C-alpha cells in the first residue's frame, strides 16, 4: 500500500495530482522551486474544496483532512520518505533527468519514481537513474481531480512489480487506468494531435473561424469542448510544446506538424485562459 506520496511541481498538474492523492488518504509532500507556485497551489485548493463543500460533495471534516494531508515543502530532500514520487515539472527532458538523478540520492531504493510527462520518452527519463526499473510514466489529464482516465506507461526498463503497484495505486485513487507503451503522445495525446492540428489548418486556410470550428465540433461531433476552447484551456505554450515534441519524436511525420498560428500565439503570450487571452478573451 502506497501511503506517502511526493509530488514535484506545484503547477496545474502537480497541484491537481496532490489533491487526488490526498483525497485518497495519502500523506502528500509537494515541492516546487518557486514559492509563489506553492502558495498559489495552497490557495487554489482552499477555493476548490470550499466550492465542493458548498455543493455538498464533501463535508468540512473531509475538506480539513484533504488539506491536512498535504505539506508544501521547499526542498527536494524533504521527499525522502516517499514511497511514490510523481514529477510534474516543466516538459524538458534534460531538466527532468537532472531532477530524477538528484531525487534518487534522497529516496529509498523501493520508492517508485514516476513522471507525468505528456510526450517525452519514459525510457530516456529512466536512464538518468541507477535503478531505472523503478521508473514509470503516470499520465494524468487536466484537471487531474476531475478526469477519470490515467495512462500508465511502463518504460522498457520498468519492472513488472513497479507496473503492478503503480496501476493498483492509481485504481485505488478511483481512476481508470489505461496501460500504454512508451511511444510519443501515448494514446490520448497522439489521437489529439490531428484534432488540434487539423482545426488550426482549417482556420489557416480561411475555411472557418475559431468559434465556427468549435461550434461544429460540439454540435455535430458531440465534443464537450471545441479544439480552440480546449487549446485555450490547456495553454497554447504547453499544447504547442507537446505537438512539437510528438512531431520530432515521430521523425517529422507530417501528420503531427505543428502550426505557425499556435506558435505565434504562444510567443505573444496569448496562452489561453491562464493569460486572459488566447483564441478567445477571458475577463
Q: Which residues have a catalytic role annotated?
A: 118, 139, 151, 189
Per the CB < 8 A criterion, the answer to whether 35 and 24 are in contact is no
Question: Residue 138 CB, nearest distance to ligand NAD (Å)?
Answer: 10
Q: Report the nearest approach of ligand NAD to the CB of residue 161 (Å).
A: 25
Stretch that binds ligand NAD, among 62-70, 139-147, 148-156, 255-263 (CB under 6 A): 139-147
Of 17-56, binders to ligand NAD (CB under 6 A) are 31-34, 37
Distance from CA of residue 43 to its chain's centroid? 20
Cβ 14 to ligand NAD shortest distance, Å: 6
Question: By C-beta, is 83 or 116 nearer to ligand NAD?
Answer: 116
Return the number of the residue (63 or 250) whose C-beta is nearest ligand NAD: 250
Considering only 116, 132, 158, 166, the residue that binds ligand NAD (CB under 6 A) is 116
Selected from 64, 65, 74, 90, the binder of ligand NAD by CB under 6 A is: 90
Residue from 2, 5, 7, 10 touching ligand NAD (CB under 6 A): that is 10
Among 21, 45, 88, 103, binds ligand NAD (CB under 6 A): 88
3-state secondary structure string across the chain: CCCEEEEECCCHHHHHHHHHHHHCCCEEEEECCCHHHHHHHHHHHHHHHHHHHHCCCCCHHHHHHHHHCEEEECCHHHHCCCCEEEECCCCCHHHHHHHHHHHHCCCCCCCEEEECCCCCCHHHHHCCCCCHHHEEEEEECCCCCCCCEEEEEECCCCCHHHHHHHHHHHHHCCCEEEECCCCCCCCHHHHHHHHHHHHHHHHHCCCCCHHHHHHHHHHCCCCCCCHHHHHHHHCHHHHHHHHHHHHHHCCCCHHHCCCHHHHHHHHCCCCEHHHCECCCECC
Dihedral, CA of residue 139, residue 261, residue 220 and residue 282, to nearest 10: 80
Q: Which stretch binds ligand NAD (CB under 6 A): 8-16, 47-55, 158-166, 204-212?
A: 8-16
Is 126 a binding residue for ligand NAD by CB under 6 A? The answer is no
Which of residues 7, 84, 89, 138 is near ligand NAD by CB under 6 A?
A: 89
Please give the residues from 156 up to 175 whose contact with ligand NAD meets the rule CB under 6 A.
Answer: none
Closest CB 100 distance from ligand NAD, rounded Å: 10
Among positions 51-80, residues that touch ligand NAD (CB under 6 A) are none
| Chain positions contacting ligand NAD, by CB under 6 A | 8-14, 31-34, 37, 88-91, 95, 99, 116-118, 140-142, 234, 238
Amino acid at each position: 500500500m502506497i501511503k506517502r506520496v511526493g509530488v514535484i511541481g506545484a503547477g496545474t498538474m502537480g497541484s491537481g495530482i496532490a489533491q487526488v492523492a490526498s483525497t485518497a488518504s495519502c500523506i502528500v509532500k509537494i515541492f516546487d522551486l518557486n514559492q509563489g507556485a506553492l502558495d498559489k497551489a495552497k490557495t487554489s485548493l482552499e477555493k476548490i474544496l470550499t466550492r465542493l463543500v458548498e455543493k455538498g460533495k464533501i463535508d468540512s471534516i473531509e475538506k480539513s483532512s484533504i488539506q491536512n494531508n498535504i505539506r508544501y515543502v521547499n526542498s527536494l530532500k524533504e521527499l525522502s520518505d516517499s514511497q511514490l514520487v510523481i514529477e510534474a515539472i516543466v516538459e524538458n527532458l534534460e531538466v527532468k533527468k537532472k531532477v530524477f538523478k538528484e531525487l534518487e540520492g534522497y529516496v529509498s531504493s523501493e520508492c517508485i519514481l514516476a513522471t507525468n510527462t505528456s510526450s517525452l520518452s519514459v525510457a530516456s527519463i529512466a536512464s538518468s537513474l541507477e535503478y531505472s526499473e523503478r521508473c514509470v510514466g503516470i499520465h494524468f489529464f487536466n484537471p487531474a481531480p476531475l478526469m477519470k482516465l490515467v495512462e500508465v506507461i511502463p518504460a522498457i526498463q520498468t519492472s513488472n512489480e513497479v507496473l503492478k503497484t503503480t496501476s493498483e495505486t492509481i485504481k485505488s485513487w478511483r481512476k481508470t487506468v489505461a496501460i500504454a507503451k512508451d511511444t510519443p503522445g501515448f494514446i490520448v495525446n497522439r489521437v489529439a494531435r490531428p484534432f488540434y492540428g487539423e482545426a488550426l489548418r482549417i482556420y489557416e486556410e480561411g475555411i472557418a473561424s475559431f468559434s465556427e470550428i468549435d461550434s461544429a465540433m460540439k454540435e455535430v461531433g458531440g465534443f464537450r469542448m471545441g479544439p480552440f476552447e480546449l487549446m485555450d484551456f490547456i495553454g497554447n505554450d504547453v499544447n504547442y510544446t507537446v505537438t512539437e515534441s510528438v512531431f520530432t519524436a515521430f521523425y517529422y511525420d507530417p501528420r503531427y506538424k505543428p502550426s505557425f498560428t499556435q506558435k505565434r500565439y504562444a510567443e505573444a503570450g496569448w496562452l489561453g485562459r491562464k493569460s486572459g487571452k488566447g483564441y478567445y478573451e477571458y475577463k
